[in-house]
Amino acid sequence: MKYQGIIFDLDGVICSTDHYHYLAWKALADRLGIYFDETINNRLRGVSRMASLEIVLERSTVVYTEEEKAAFAEEKNNLYRELLKNMSPADLAPEVKETLDALRAEGLKLGIGSSSKNTKFILSQIGLGDFFDKISDGTNITRSKPDPEVFLKGAEYLELAPAACLVVEDAKAGIEAATAAGMDSAAIGDAVKCGLATYNLTRFADLLNCVD
């Protein structure tokens, strides 16, 4: 096989929490009197919480302290986690689960590489709490994508060389991070448009064609 392990981004790849992110950021922005819409929200994909907050605050006429920003980020995350409680195994597409099972059956190590600090909670909500071999997420990194740290740590946790891992991503920043980590990448969704990935997937199950 071409690879020994696959590292998946979470949001937009395994499941989608974009709408919940949007609702939480919108609630915060509305409270602060800052304009926020879906277009701005799209800029936050694959970006860390604090970096996302800076984008949200770009239209603010007020300069906030670091302490205030930290409080805003916590407020948004609390709103987001409340919304995530609505998630269930029904949010995991059968095609995704069947493909993951097929990859596991082929002997591949499977990991998560996500900037989210809520990764484990989301996986638990959708019924994948104990499925992945290792998880690299916002709780163990200091730099978000396109920095390669999250994927390099993911490979380290899987005890694999970076070149032995394939990254699956739906965001340009994630594809750039995979490239910087020395890993091949498979793009799905919006990431296909950037033209930087090793493979472009039309649907999740196409991933099976990338590993044979």
Q: Which residue has the higher pLDDT, 107 or 42?
A: 107
| Residues forming CATH 1.10.150.240 domain(s) in the chain | 18-84
* Residue 95 near residue 61 (C-beta atoms within 8 A): no
Pick the CATH number of 18-84 from 3.40.50.620, 3.20.20.70, 1.10.10.10, 1.10.150.240: 1.10.150.240
| Residues forming CATH 3.40.50.1000 domain(s) in the chain | 5-15+89-211
For residue 1, name the pLDDT band (cuts at 50, 70, 90). Answer: confident
Cite the active site residues.
9, 11
For residue 210, name the pLDDT band (cuts at 50, 70, 90). Answer: very high
Which region among 23-32, 37-46, 67-76, 99-108 has the lowest average model confidence (pLDDT)?
37-46
Q: Give pTM, 2 decimals.
A: 0.87
Task: Select from 167, 192, 163, 189 the least CA-distant residue to 177.
Answer: 167
Instruction: List, for residues 135-192, the tens digit of each pLDDT value.
Output: 999 999 999 899 999 999 999 999 999 999 999 999 999 999 999 999 999 999 999 9
Tell me the fold of 5-15+89-211. Answer: Rossmann fold (3.40.50)
Residue with tokens 């899987």: 158
Please give the share of the chain, as a percent, with pLDDT higher than 70: 100
First to last CA, the chain: 5
Q: In what order do the strands lie in the sheet with 109-113?
A: 134-136, 109-113, 5-8, 165-169, 184-187, 199-200
